[in-house]
Structure 1
Amino acid sequence: MRRPMIIALIGVDGAGKTTQARALAARLRAAGVPASYFENAGGRPVWNRLAQALGRRDGPHLFGHTGYVTIEATVRWLAIARAVLAARLTGRTAVMDRWSWCQYVVMRARGDRGGRLVRLAYAIFPRPELVCFLAVSPERAQQRVLARGIDTEELTHLRALDTGYRGLPEFGSFTVVDADGDPVDVGAALDQVVRAALARSR
């Protein structure tokens, strides 16, 4: 059996990864392509809410910096493992909301240690057949984060994330999609690159 196609959407917080990944999976199904959406987040909003409920500032303040990074990287690893296994068992195209690079970049932006160890742990996962980097200006990303009202992001951190993605050794192999515009237009651009990737995989 041919390995199911994996499509990963990555980018800074506020790039529209979740919105676009959910919509892409739905459009693929509507077009007759069996597809599933998977969220591969590290759980930051959950840990922050838990911390605040316990009288702490945020996740790192609750668990300690090293403990928080370990939990975040482990949760994301488990999410990706579950998604890959589900895709292989069902044979459905997997639309991934985030991938391993998201963990590498956020750790580097925060100045975390253990980046090499995390890369080693994530190395067991297959490389997605298509990786779309949703390119958005940090200013636009910050506006979107504030509008959704779940958390906040400093502009300096968003800029560090953008620089981190563009500095990845794998960045040259990513498909860059302009995500600054209207979600409908971004979705149309995604559809073009996904159709081409699906055609190549046949």
Structure 2
Amino acid sequence: MVRSLRKRRRRRLRTVALIGIDGSGKTTQAHRLADALTAAGRPATYHRNAGGRRWLGRIAQRVGRSDAQRLVGRDGLLAVESVLRWLAIAAALVSCLLTGRTAVMDRYAACQYASIRAHGGHRWERLARAGYRVFPRPQVTFLLAVDPAEAYHRIERRGTDHETMGWLTAADTAYRTLPEYPTFVLVDAGRPAEEVSRQIQRHLAGWLPSADAGETAEATPAMPPDPMPPARPVTPDHTPAPGVATPLAARAHT
């Protein structure tokens, strides 16, 4: 058992994805995670794999349309999103392959599948999955779960864009109905940002190098999910109990 855990620890952490509805804190947490991994000796790069919906929305408003869908239509929006996100993910993966750095993905393929479902364009999902199949599944995918009402208030407070409660609720449902949902690591993103960061970092602590691999392997049960395990929430405890992995920054200096 210990030998198996040691073997898994020696695998290089190549890709981590953070997904969730708008207002769940993906961008903030992805930046923090990239910085934390780098500080802990696992060089990482942040990648924002946006689909261009916000950019299209701004163009729409300038020409007198209320949103991106009113500008290019539902099918046009889904097509543009799918292509732009595909290109962004491809560029991020190639970059990290060349540099050897860990890719911290702010959004990934699952975000496009959820967007398609939330828009009701289910026939597009099959096409999107065919195109995105070339990308490897991230070793860890964090789903930042937050109540749509809280997400709505966060978006309104930042004041850079706008989403309706109907859209946020539909997107939340879409993520939870994806076939990949059981493989996601659920994070309580309704908590303060510092606590959310600790949840995420504690789960990834097992990927970091350690002076005593055997001792750490036994003390770190939080490992990358095996194919299709039950969805697992990350425990949001403030202080790790004995036998629970500590945050990345702490592990870096031990």
TM-score norm. by structure 2 comes to 0.75
Q: Does 1:93 align with 2:90?
A: no
Kindly indicate whether the alpha-carbon contact (under 8 Å) linking 1:4 and 1:87 is maintained by their aligned counterparts in 2. Answer: no
Percent same amino acid at aligned positions? 47
**Equivalent residue in structure 1 for 2:146, among 136, 141, 148:** 136
SS in 1 for 2:136: coil
Quote the RMSD (CA, aligned, Å).
Answer: 1.6
Partner of 1:108: 117
Deviates more, 1:179-188 or 1:25-34: 25-34
User: Higher relative contact order by CA 8 Å / sep ≥ 6: 1 or 2?
Assistant: 1
Which whole-Å CA distance do the structure 2 matches of 1:52 and 1:153 have between them? 14
**Equivalent residue in structure 2 for 1:18, among 17, 27, 43:** 27
Kindly indicate whether the alpha-carbon contact (under 8 Å) linking 1:3 and 1:91 is maintained by their aligned counterparts in 2. Answer: no
Q: Runs of 5+ in structure 1 lacking a partner?
A: none
**What code does the residue aligned with 1:151 have?**
D
Which whole-Å CA distance do the structure 1 matches of 2:192 and 2:88 have between them? 29
Partner of 1:117: 127
Q: Runs of 5+ in structure 2 lacking a partner?
A: 1-10, 210-222, 225-254
Partner of 2:230: none
Kindly indicate whether the alpha-carbon contact (under 8 Å) linking 1:45 and 1:150 is maintained by their aligned counterparts in 2. Answer: no
Which whole-Å CA distance do the structure 1 matches of 2:182 and 2:139 have between them? 14
Partner of 2:200: 190
Q: What is the CA-CA distance between 1:5 and the residue it aligns to?
A: 1.2
Which has more radius of gyration?
Answer: 2
TM-score norm. by structure 1 comes to 0.93
SS in 2 for 1:96: strand
Which whole-Å CA distance do the structure 2 matches of 1:3 and 1:62 have between them? 43
**Equivalent residue in structure 2 for 1:163, among 173, 177, 201:** 173
Which whole-Å CA distance do the structure 2 matches of 1:115 and 1:169 have between them? 12
Partner of 2:84: 75
Q: What is the CA-CA distance between 1:6 and the residue it aligns to?
A: 0.2
